[in-house]
Structures are given as C-alpha cells and as structure tokens.
Structure 1
Amino acid sequence: MTDTTYRRPISWVSGVRTDVGCVRTVNEDAVLAKPEVGLWAVADGMGGHKVGDIASSKIVDALAALSASTSLGDCVDVIEDCLLEVNQLMLEYAQIMFDGSTMGSTVVVMVIKGRVGACLWVGDSRLYRLRNQQLVQLSRDHSQLEEMIELGLITREGSDNHPNRNVITRAVGVETPLYVDVSLFTTQVGDSFLLCSDGLYNAVSHDDIVESMKLRDVQQSTDELIKKALEQGARDNVSVIVVKGNPGRVSAADSTQG
C-alpha cells in the first residue's frame, strides 16, 4: 500500500489602493504589488519634508525593478541592498536639488517564498497578519512612542493620543548608515496580510481592521479599509495592500510518495 502526502501550495492574491485622505492635497504614499513573485511594499513619504511623493516613488520604483529570486534569503539580501542604495541616492539627490534639506520616506516590504515570508521595514508603516481571527503586527514601529513603551515610560493602552505618536526615529533618505529591520514568519493557507501606512491605523480601530480583512474578496477588503479611514476623516494619506493566501493547485512535483 502506498501513502501519498500532498503539501498544498498557496496562491497569493492581493488588493491595492492608495488615497490622498481628507486633509492633505498631495498623496506622498506609493505602493507596490507583485503577487506573481511574492513581493509587496508600502512607502510613506515624510509629511512636512520636501517632495515626500518623490521619495516614496523612488523606493517603490527601485523595488519594482528587482529581479525575481527563488530563495528567500537571496530576496532579503537583494531588498536590503536596494534600500541601502536608494537611501544613498536620496541623500545625494537632496544635497544637489534642495541644498541638503531632508527628503525621506518610511517603507514596509513583504516577500513570501513557499511557506516562509520576510518583513523588511524602516519607520512606522506596518505589516499585520490575520490568522484564526487574530490580528498580529509583524513589524515594530521605529517611533519615539514605541521607544517610550519599550522603556516602560508609558503603557500601550495609554498611548493613543500621545503628542509624539507620529514622530518617527528612522526613515529612508534621512541619514547614513541606514538600518533595515528584518523579521521572518510562517505562512498558511487562509492567512491574510495587511501592509499599510500610518494613515490607516491612526484612523481605523483594530476591531474594524479585523472585520474588513475577513471579507472574502481581497479588493473588497482593501476598499472597505480605505472607506473606513475616510469616514473617520483620515488626516493623512492612506495606503492599503491586503494579501490573502488561497489553496493552490497540487501538482505531481508537490507530492511526496512513500
């Protein structure tokens, strides 16, 4: 008798949308979705700095031009090198074009290969995973507020209206060397991921994010999140990418016979 065990592959689909919000006149966010190679990113140009929209676009354009790789480790190395190179180019661009004034952007990148993924980020754009109805943040904000929470100076529950909640401590294009944080995670059929700028999570509650991500259609989830942010008077640009893992087709190469 022959037993056959199938390792079901995961097919990743994504919905993408970015909106200027209810207050700002320029959208300084940029988004990237390449589900065919397992790569997604959200970049948030720094408000109040010159040409934040150019800063975020430079990051996304550089990531979009990367060659596909089958190895997660290789992907992480290439993405990190890409962000370091863009950081240097942005510093030089600002020096030449704006007499050294700062142009910068946060970024969160997700790459998935097989059953393992990686999150790379700089700043306070976030990656979440929804699994078994539980929403968990996989990135950790580079912000003064997060540092204060880590030091025990304030509690997370009491941080919602803190005056320093939007002060970030790390961004692409601000200084060298640039330090990119990396976190690895597992994936399962049925997992949903959310990449977003702070314009979303500062406007929409945790529970409302979960409810929107439960929707079956991935673009509907994305649109619903943007809608809720706008209904709350989104004071910043809002960018959302929702990624869902559906059962893929099992091929002979995916099966192990014994």
Structure 2
Amino acid sequence: MELEVTLPEGPLRLAVAACTDLGRVRRVNEDSFLAEPPLFLVADGMGGHSFGDRASRAVVEAFSAAVGTDGLPSPELVVETIRAANEAVVALSDEETVSGTTLSGLALVAAHSSYHWMAFNVGDSRVYSWDGRALEQVTVDHSAVQEMLDLGQISALEAIDHPYRNVVTRAIGIDDSVEPDVWLLPVGGHQLFLVCSDGLTKELDDDQIASILADRFSLPEGQSVADRLVQAALAAGGSDNVTVIVVEAELADTAHSADEDTNDRGMPGHLEETRPRK
C-alpha cells in the first residue's frame, strides 16, 4: 500500500506492508494488527491465557474507534487509548478466565506544532528502526529475560533459550491500570520502521531481519518485505503466530538524515511520565 500524508514540511510518502500467519504449531491466530495511517500496531494475544484472540482484537477496536484517519492524534490521545484498550481487555475477564495481550505500535502524531513518529509498547512485541545500515530495537521488552539482561544476570546468548523467555512482566488486560513506554522520533528524510509480534523475533535474530530488509528491493514481484519476513519465520520453525508491519516513509525537501531520525529518543517534558525505563 502506497499513500501520501500532507504535512506543513511537505508530502510524507508512505509505503506500508503487513502480513500475519497462524504459524506451524498454533491452532488459533491470537495476533491482531492495524496498519492504516496514522496508526500501525500489533497486538499479540498472550499464549496460555483464555481468549487471547479476543483480547488482541479488543485493542485494535479501541484504537480504530478512538483515532480516525482525519487529522493526526496527539501523543496524549495515543496513551489515553492504550489505557482505554486495557480497560476493554480487563472487561473480557471473569473469575475463571483471564484475557491478555501485548501491544507494540507506531503512530504519526502532532506535538508542539511539529510532527513525530511515536513508538510505544506494552509487553515483548517490538518496534525496530532501520537506517539502511543497522537495525535498532526502539522499544524495550517488558519481560523477565530482559530484566535479567539489564541486571547482568544472564548474557544475550543465554537469553535466547532461557526458560523464562516467554514470561512478560507487563501486558494489556492483566491489571486494572497499565503504563506503556513511549518514544518520540522526529519525522524527516527516509525512514523505515518494523512493528512485529514475538513470533518473528523468536525465529529470526536481528542480523537475519536486517538482511531481509536490506534485500527488499530484489524481492519477486508481488511479494512484500512483510511477506518475506513472515515466510522466513515460518521456515525457521514457525513456533508461534507471527505478524509483521513494515512502514517506509520519505519526507521530501528535508535536511534531516535517517541517522538523526532513528537515533533521537528525546521527548517533550509533558510526556516525561511515560519515559521508558533504562
């Protein structure tokens, strides 16, 4: 899908590709996604919890209802919608069943008379940026393994097959309140973002993902880079549902470089309470 968003700085041209698959093991696809400007998000219903597919759909429905395609949302509206989605998923649970889902996403937002990409997450679904040379994970996993990595208790190599690798420490619908992590990235130049469920990152490491992104211009006609990433995850085992959204953006007549865009993690002071943990 190719389209254009009009900004005061000039036209922002977008190429968007999305793909989801059941995988080779699961019986139900508990992933849901939304890939319509200004929102690109993936919700991964939590395996082992009842109604994970309903939970992920509830998140997508909450965003679809709150954020329209006319005009750009504010960062505050995105955060409010995440919290509203949490309430919707909590309402699905009862004394016998618990619904839950992770969430990761990218939104084009208006803030302080300017425009930014807002990356956000709850759980271990991810947002990456790609500058043509290096793949950078923008979001920080809310997982037991990530916390052990941060504390230096395990190595990155040990984390790959750690028995707690599927344990998330934050999710939509598990508690009455939820605190997402958010990042604001300036819009400018040529940028590429990847939003995905952990069905991709369980099967492919960052180097493999980067290789596919770098090779995206040589794909067969009719195959998107999102399709290629999902197929690679299936070929590597497909042990989980896998969902991928790739957003490629080009803002004409701008002096910003891709390196500046993808590495700037600053946020306005009024959003400081949602600054991600270190």
TM-score by structure 1 length?
0.85
How many residues were matched structurally?
A: 238
State the SS of the aligned residue for 1:193: strand
Q: What pairs with 1:109-120 in structure 2 (closer than 5 Å)?
A: 109-113=105-109, 116-120=116-120
AA of the residue aligned to 2:14: W
Aligned residue type for 2:80: D
* 1:67 and 2:71 are equivalent in the alignment: no
For the pair shown, which has the larger CA radius of gyration, 1 or 2?
A: 1
Paired AA for residue 47 in structure 1: G
Corresponding letter in the other structure for 1:224? R
Match of 1:24 among 15, 20, 26: 26
Query: Percent of counterpart pairs with the same letter?
Result: 34
Q: What TM-score do the two structures reach when normalised by structure 2?
A: 0.79
- Larger RCO: 1 or 2 (CA < 8 Å, sep 6+): 1
**Deviation by residue 1:177-202 (Cα, 9 ceiling, x = unmatched):** 21111111234332111000000011
Which blocks of at least 5 consecutive residues in structure 1 are unaligned? Answer: 1-5, 251-258
Residues 78-124 of structure 1 show CA distances to partners (whole Å, capped at 9, x for unaligned) of 122122122123223212xxx25210000012112475211121000
Query: Residues of 2 paired with 1:188 and 1:133: CA distance?
Result: 17
Aligned twin of 1:196: 196
**Secondary structure of 1:93 counterpart:** coil
Residues 28-82 of structure 1, C-alpha deviation per residue, up to 9 Å, x if partnerless?
Answer: 00010113xx21000000011111000000001111222347566x2x2112212
Instruction: Name 1:106's counterpart in structure 2.
Output: 102
**Conserved 8 A contact 1:10-1:247:** yes
Q: Is the 8 A contact 2:126 2:197 kept in 1?
A: yes
- Indicate whether 1:168 and 2:199 are aligned: no
Computed over aligned residues only, the root mean square deviation of the Cα atoms, in angstroms, reads 2.2
The answer to whether the 8 A contact 2:72-2:108 is kept is no
Query: d(CA) in 1 for partners of 2:213 and 2:64?
Result: 25
**For the Cα contact (< 8 Å) 1:45–1:55, is it kept in 2?**
yes
For residue 52 of structure 1, what is the aligned residue in structure 2?
52
Decide whether the 8 Å contact of 2:58 with 2:88 is kept in 1: no
